[in-house]
Amino acid sequence: MSTKPTSVPLKQDFSHLKTGRINLTILRDSILQQIKRCTNQFYTEKSNLPKQFTKEKCVVIDDDLKNLLGHIQALNELGASDIRIFKERQHDTSDYKITLFIVRPKPIYMEIIANMIKDEMNKLKQLKTKEIVSKQYGIIFVPRQSRVCEEKLKERGVLGDIIIDELNLDFLPMDTDLLSMESYDCFRDLYLNKDTTPIFNLAHGLITLQQLYGIIPNVFVKGDKAKQCYDSMMRMQREVPDNEKKVPTQIENLILIDRSIDFITPMMIPGTYEALLDEVF
């Protein structure tokens, strides 16, 4: 398998997001602020590089996230010397002072990252330099941190060498009238693995939307999972400070539908988001 870094699109025009029923550039700007907050802690001046490093920062991105991050036009703001795609294999980043992983919280990824860190530490030790400790590693989990992943890193003995943060990428503006969580495995997690994390993530995303666009006064639910999401959202809403609930309402109605109430219909109509919207509305 080739080790050549994978190129990632860095530019996209988002001016059209202002023209919808609600201004989705507000949501996109909120996401960019989160990304800047997460990545600002991973910064170094080229002039201050220790001798064993020739480059500043390498960002290794989960393959599942490359399109998602391309949509929010944030990679060019990471200040990275190199951007690579994480495809369940190791990368040699020992020439970089900072290696930052942006990944989904999957235990198998932690094994790969731990092996990579250990290999690079051993390589740096062979240089017999006193500046080995200046190598910095970071993991930004998307959309949430995972205790299971942290335990896996602890078992491998590298947790103390890593700065860990999370990037709450909930709803992404795909078009003027379309938001997506890009959660490819949510159906499998919910119905096969009995993992309710997707319900929590959706509820959290709805809370974020309401912090930006005001409380949604009318909520309709259909199905057990939809009801669970609604209950989770209401619990979170009670924990939101009152001063964050003063944004004027811009969304009047929310309809939550559990996919399990109708498995057949998606098989009978076009499969893309835009085709579905055209077909139904």
- The string of pLDDT tens digits covering residues 210-220 is 999 999 999 99
| Run of H or E including 69 | helix 66-71
Condensed to tens digits (0 to 9), the pLDDT of residues 223-251 reads 999 999 999 999 999 998 877 678 899 99
Q: What Cα–Cα distance (Å) separates residue 2 from each residue in 48, 67, 152?
A: 32, 21, 28
pLDDT at 70 over 80: no
pLDDT at 71 over 70: no
pLDDT of 120: 86
Condensed to tens digits (0 to 9), the pLDDT of residues 78-135 reads 667 788 888 766 778 888 888 999 999 989 999 999 999 998 888 877 765 554 457 8
- 43 versus 184: which is more confidently predicted? 184
Distance CA 15, CA 25 (A): 8
Distance CA 3, CA 171 (A): 32
pLDDT of 48: 57
Distance CA 277, CA 43 (A): 43
Structure tokens at 246: 């003063």
Average pLDDT, the chain: 82
pLDDT at 18 over 90: no
Amino acid at 34: Q
* CB hemisphere CA count around 257 (13 angstroms): 5
Distance CA 38, CA 163 (A): 10
Condensed to tens digits (0 to 9), the pLDDT of residues 252-281 reads 999 999 988 888 777 666 666 667 677 676
Segments of the chain assigned E as strands: 55-62, 82-86, 96-103, 136-141, 162-166, 172-175, 178-180, 218-222, 253-257
- Stated length of the chain: 281
pLDDT band at 4 (very low <50, low <70, confident <90, very high): very low
pLDDT of 97: 86
Q: Which domains does the chain have, with CATH numbers?
A: 15-166 (3.40.50.2060), 183-261 (no CATH)
Average pLDDT over residues 33-48: 74
Structure tokens at 14: 């988002």
- 41 versus 239: which is more confidently predicted? 239
- Between the two ends of the chain, the Cα-to-Cα distance in Å is 45
Q: Where are the alpha helices (DSSP H) in 126-265?
A: 147-155, 186-191, 197-213, 224-239
Give the rounded percent of residues in the chain with a pLDDT score beyond 90. Answer: 35
Condensed to tens digits (0 to 9), the pLDDT of residues 123-160 reads 877 765 554 457 889 999 998 898 999 999 999 999 99
